[in-house]
Amino acid sequence: MTTTITPNRSATLQTRDGFAQLVHAEWTKFRTVRGWVIGMIVAVLVTAGIGIFVAAGDAGQSCQAIGPTGSSSGCGSAPALPLGPDGEPVVDNFYFVRQPLTGNGTLTVRLTSLTSLLPPAGQGLGATPSQPGTVPWAKAGIIMSATSLSTPRAYAAVMATGANGVRMQWNYTGDTAGLPGAVSAGSPRWLRLARDGDTITGYDSADGAHWTVVDVVRLAGLPATVQAGLFTASPQLPARAVNIAGIGQGGGGPTASTAVFDHLSRSGAWPASSWTGGYTQGDLAAEAQGVGGYHQLAGRITVTGQGDVAPAIPDQGEFGSSENTIAIYLTGTFVGLIAVAVVATMFMTGEYRRGLIRTTLAASPRRGRVLAAKALVVAGVAFVAGLLGTAGAEVVGTSIARSRGTQDFPEPWPAELRMIVGTALVVAVVAVLTLAVATIVRRSVAAVTIIFAAIVVPYFLSAIATLPVGVADWLLRVTPAAGFALQQATPQYRQVDAYYAPVSGFYPLAPWAGFAVLCAWTLAALGGAVYLLRRRDA
Amino acid sequence: MSQTAQETLHAEWTKLRTLPGTGWLLLAAAALTIAVGVAVDAASTCGSVGCEADPAKLSLTGVQVGQAIVAIIAVLAISSEYSTGMIRVTLTATPRRCSVLGAKAALVGGLVLVTGALAVLGSVLAGRLILPGRGFTAAHGFPPLSLGDGPDLRAAVGSVLYLALIALLALGVATAVRDSAVAIGLVLGLLYLFPIVSSVVGDQHWQRHLEQIGPMNAGLYVQATVGLKILPLTPWQGLGVLAAWAFGALLLGAVLLRLRDA
C-alpha cells in the first residue's frame, strides 16, 4: 500500500531551526564544559561565603563591644528599633508637653524662638551639647497623637524647623513644606492644628491673622481622645566625610533644642486641668543628663528636648539604632560577579578560540538568534547562581547574627525581597552584558577587564574607597554599577538629615532606576554585538 | 641543544616586544595611573578643620587603578601562548621550563619597573603642583611632595616596586591557570577582595588581619607617609606581604608548568 511520503525531513529541519532547539543546543554546550559549571558554583559559594563571613565577623564584634558581662543579654542588648505603621523602623522619642483632647478641637500657638546646641567638636556620641548652632531638622511645634507614649503612633504635627521652614509631618514619613525661613522674635510663626473626625488640618501664619493651610491628612482609626500639645525634638547630627581618608569623627553627636511658645489657645473639650511633660520613651539618657523639660511663666512656655520623631536611618549612630542593614551580607556579590563574568566571557570567546563558532553559525545561520539563545542560557544560569548566593548569604547571615544576639536594621519584607532577587537580576544582566562585550571584542582578557572596569571599579571606588561624594554619586549614576542601587536598604528621606552617600549604603538613583541604567548599557552592548556578529567573518 | 639564559631572554623579549598590545598597554597603565592621580588631587580639599589625608598616598591613588592594566600585561605574556598553542613551540625550543618562566618574569618585571617609574614620577610631580592649591600647604603641616624627603621617596620607590610585584603575581597566577579569562578574574578578585570585605567586617580583629594579609592592602602600606603608628604593618613589611604573594604565585606557576603537559 502506497501511502503518502511523510514530510519527515522538513519537519525535522523545522524543529532544528526553532529557537527552542537553539537554546537547548547552547544549554548543552554550557553544561558540558566542566570549567564553566565549576565557575558558576564558585560564584554561588563566594557570594554566600563572603556574606556569611561578614555576618560572623560582625556578630563577634558586637558581643565584644558590649563588654565582658558574660550574660547572653550582654550581646547586642540595644533595644530593638520601634516599627512604624508600614513596618519601617522609626525613631520616636521627643519631649512632649501634652493634654488629652476629646472629640474635635483646635490648638493654636505662636512660636517666637527655636535655638539649638551642638556637641563640642571632636567629642563624638557621648558629648553633651553645649555649642550654639543650627540643627537643620530641629523641630518644635504642636502635635496631635493617637497615643501619648507607645509606638507606632498615628500622629500629625505642624512645626518650625531649624533650617527647613515650617513643615507639616504625619505618621513618620509624611512631610509637607509650609512657610519658609527661620523663627525669631521679629519673625514669629503661628501654628494651628484642627481635628475634625479622622482628618487633621495644619495651618501656618506669620502674623496670626492670615492663615494658610499647609496640608490636610487623614489618620485612619484615630481614637476619640487624642493626646495634643507642644513638642520639641532635636535629632543627632550625622558624621560627615571630611576628606578622602574617611568619615570624620568631628561632625556627629547629640544636639538639644529649646523652643519658646506663647499665645496658646484651644477650642474643644480638654478635660485635664494641667499639662504633662516628658520624653515619649521616658528612659532617654538625655533626661538623666538634665537635658529636656518645660516651664511656664506668664503665658510663655519654654520646651527643651532631644531625639526625633521620624523614619530611622541605618548606620548613623542614632539612639538605639542598629548599625548595619542586611545589605552588608550582599558584599560578596562583586566577587561572584567576577566569576560569572569570566564564565560568560568564555561562553563566547571559547567558541572563537576553538573554531566552534563556525560550526555554530553553519548550523544556525541567523546569527542574532544564536546570540539571543546564548544570552538566554547565560542569563538563566547566572540568575539561579546569583539567587542561590544572595539568598544563602541573607538567610545564613541573618540567622548567624540572630543567634549571636546582634540586631540588623529591620527591613520591611518587600525591601528585603527586592534586595535579594534584585541582586540576582543584576548578576543575570551583567552576564548578558559580558556576553555582548565578549562578542564585540572577542578576546577574553579584554572582555573581563572591561566588565571589571565598568562595574567593580566604580562600585569599589564609590562604595568602599571614599571618593568625594559628588564623584562617587556621579560614578554610580552613569556606569553600569548603577544597578547596585537595588541593594539600597532604606529610602532617603529629605526630612531626615543623614549622611546619604554610597559609602553608607545610599545610592544616587532609586533602586529600579539604577537597574534601568544597567539594562540600558546591556541593550546597547547587545545591539553592537548583533551588528558586529552579522557584519564580521566568524 | 639547550639555550643559554641570554638566548632565552632574547627569545622572550622578541615575543613580548612584537605582541601588538604590549606597548599600548604599558602606555595605558602609565597614563591611567597619572590621570587618576591628577583627578584625585584635584578633587581633594584640605580645609581649615582637621585634615587627615596623606598627600603622598593621595597623589599615588592612580596606582590602584593602573595595577589592573599591569596585571593584564603580565597575564597576556603567558596566557596568549596557551591560547595560540605557541607554548608548545616555546617549550620545544627551550625545554627547561623554569628558565622560560624566569625569563618572562624578568622581562615583564623590568618593563613594569620602567613604566611604573615614569607613572609614579608623573603622579608625584602632579601632586607637587596641584596639592598646594587644594589646601595642602606648609601652613597646614604639609610640605610639598619631594623625592628628597625620606617618607615620600619610600612611597614613590615602593609604588614602583608594588606595580612590579603585582605583575609577577599575575604572571604566576596566569601560568598556573593558563586561561586568560580565569587568570585575570582571579588576579583582580584577589586584589580587590580583601579591601572590600575588610571594609564591611565589623570585627576590628578580623579587619586588621584581612588588611595584613591582603596583597593590595598590605602592599599599599608602602605609600603611607603619615600615621604610620596606627598601621597594622610597617610600610616595608606590607610590601613584603605582597612579595610573598607574588613569590608564592610564581612558585605555584613554576611547579605546575614543570609537572603538566603544555
Q: Which of B43, B46, B189 sits opposite A335 (nearest CB)?
A: B189
pLDDT value for B144:
74
With an 8 Å Cβ cutoff, are B182 and A342 in contact?
yes
With an 8 Å Cβ cutoff, are B202 and A331 in contact?
no
Rounded Cα distance, A175 and A196, in Å: 20
pLDDT value for B48:
43
Determine the average pLDDT of the residues in B44-68: 75
With an 8 Å Cβ cutoff, are A444 and B196 in contact?
no
Q: Is A125 left (phi over 0), alpha (psi -120 to 50) or beta?
A: alpha
pLDDT value for A420:
93
With an 8 Å Cβ cutoff, are B50 and A449 in contact?
no
| pLDDT tens per residue, range B97-148 | 888 889 899 999 999 999 999 999 999 999 888 887 777 776 666 777 777 7
Q: Which of A245, A452, A470 sits opposite B52 (nearest CB)?
A: A245
Instruction: Tell me the CB-side half-sphere exposure of residue A296, using CA atoms within 13 A.
Output: 9
pLDDT value for A80:
66
Cell numbers 579587619 label which residue? B207
Could you tell me if A192 and A206 are in contact, meaning their C-beta atoms sit under 8 angstroms apart?
no
Length in residues, chain A: 538
Distance from the B235 Cα atom to the nearest Cα atom in chain A, whole angstroms = 17
Site from A37, A323, A351, A445 to mutate, B interface, most B CB atoms within 10 angstroms? A445
Cell numbers found for residue A477? 549614576
With an 8 Å Cβ cutoff, are A465 and B184 in contact?
no
The residues, ordered by sequence, that sit 6+ positions from A472 with a Cβ below 8 Å of its Cβ are A461, A462, A463, A466, A501, A502, A503
The H-or-E segment that residue A428 falls in is helix A413-441
Q: What DSSP string runs through A38-83?
A: HHHHHHHHHHHHHHHHHHHHHHHHHHHHH-TT-SGGGTT-SPPPPB
Judging by DSSP bridges, how do beta strands A225-233 and A139-145 pair with one another?
antiparallel
Domain coordinates of chain A in residue numbers? 18-59+325-490+497-535, 90-311
Determine the average pLDDT of the residues in B70-86: 87
Rounded Cα distance, A177 and A169, in Å: 9
**Count of other CB atoms within 10 angstroms of residue B114:** 14
Report the complex ipTM: 0.85
Determine the average pLDDT of the residues in B199-224: 84
pLDDT value for A402:
79
Site from B180, B204, B210, B225 to mutate, A interface, most A CB atoms within 10 angstroms? B180
pLDDT value for A126:
60
pLDDT value for A56:
80
Q: Which of B45, B83, B185 sits opposite A448 (nearest CB)?
A: B185
Site from B198, B201, B206, B220 to mutate, A interface, most A CB atoms within 10 angstroms? B201
Q: Which residues of chain A have pLDDT under 50?
A: 10-12, 60-77, 241-250, 317-322
- Cα R_g (chain A), whole angstroms: 30
Nearest CA in chain A to B21: A446
Distance from the A219 Cα atom to the nearest Cα atom in chain B, whole angstroms = 40
B54 chain-A contacts, CB cut-off 8 A? 245
Could you tell me if A268 and B78 are in contact, meaning their C-beta atoms sit under 8 angstroms apart?
no
Could you tell me if B186 and B173 are in contact, meaning their C-beta atoms sit under 8 angstroms apart?
yes
| pLDDT tens per residue, range B84-105 | 888 888 888 888 888 888 989 9
The CATH fold assigned to A90-311 is Jelly Rolls (2.60.120)
Determine the average pLDDT of the residues in B179-186: 90
With an 8 Å Cβ cutoff, are A448 and B181 in contact?
yes
Rounded Cα distance, A507 and A172, in Å: 22
Q: Which of A50, A324, A457 sits opposite B65 (nearest CB)?
A: A457
With an 8 Å Cβ cutoff, are B181 and A335 in contact?
no
Burial (Cβ within 10 Å: 0-12, 13-18, ≥19) of residue A78: middle
A39 chain-B contacts, CB cut-off 8 A? 182
Q: Which of B46, B182, B206 sits opposite A57 (nearest CB)?
A: B206
Rounded Cα distance, A72 and A57, in Å: 18
Size of interface A-B (CB pairs under 8 A): 128
Cell numbers found for residue B50? 582637621
Nearest CA in chain A to B59: A244
With an 8 Å Cβ cutoff, are B184 and A242 in contact?
no
Nearest CA in chain A to B40: A467
Dihedrals φ, ψ of A418, to 5°?
-60, -40
Determine the average pLDDT of the residues in B161-181: 94
**Count of other CB atoms within 10 angstroms of residue A127:** 17
Nearest CA in chain B to A57: B203
**Count of other CB atoms within 10 angstroms of residue A283:** 10
Distance from the A494 Cα atom to the nearest Cα atom in chain B, whole angstroms = 26
